[in-house]
Structure 1
Amino acid sequence: MKFRTATSSVARSNTPPKRFSLRIAVWLLDNPHLGAKPSIKQVAGHLLKQPARQGVVLAQSRLGQLMCRDCGSSRDQRIGQELLRQAARAGDRVAQQELSKIED
């Protein structure tokens, strides 16, 4: 019985690897049938949040784009621009292009 409890608590404490959540989020956003739906964008944004916080450039770029394009609040758009700036500083070309569109 103790063995079951120990493994179940370990399994619950483990979070999915950031690469997996990043792959799923990018796949959802790039899928032509799913990527346009607001609920899918919300799920993808949630999946991108942790890798973006951990400094994954692709996650920063995609989450920044998502927040700048699809969020109505000025706070979310400011956060999106900051994520794009971080990704652009790291050399992400898409983030650089998106940032230049926003700032023009």
Structure 2
Amino acid sequence: MSESSQLRDVFDAIADPTRRRLIHLLAEEEEIPLHELTAQFTMGRTAVSKHLTILKEAGLALDRKVGRETRFRLNASPLREVQDWLAFYNKFWSANMLRLNQLLEDEEE
């Protein structure tokens, strides 16, 4: 799925703590079966599958069938949009912290 054909906004997909945890779990392994992902949560398989569907719609998760098992892996490239958005605010806060530091130093003199 290309970034232009994503069905869901990546920010929407990462807004939920369960989906952020799923992304973290997927990042730790090359590929994880659904039953192993489900074992990491107190919710059922259907609920985990719904969260994975949202991640797939945002292009963040890819799946493949191996026999009767579905395995998932992370596709981190859509997170570049989040990283780019945050980079602006990182510059913003860095500049403001430098200004604040300068003001505090000026007051001490």
TM-score by length of 1: 0.28
| Higher strand proportion | 2
Structure of larger gyration radius: 2
Higher-helix-fraction structure: 1
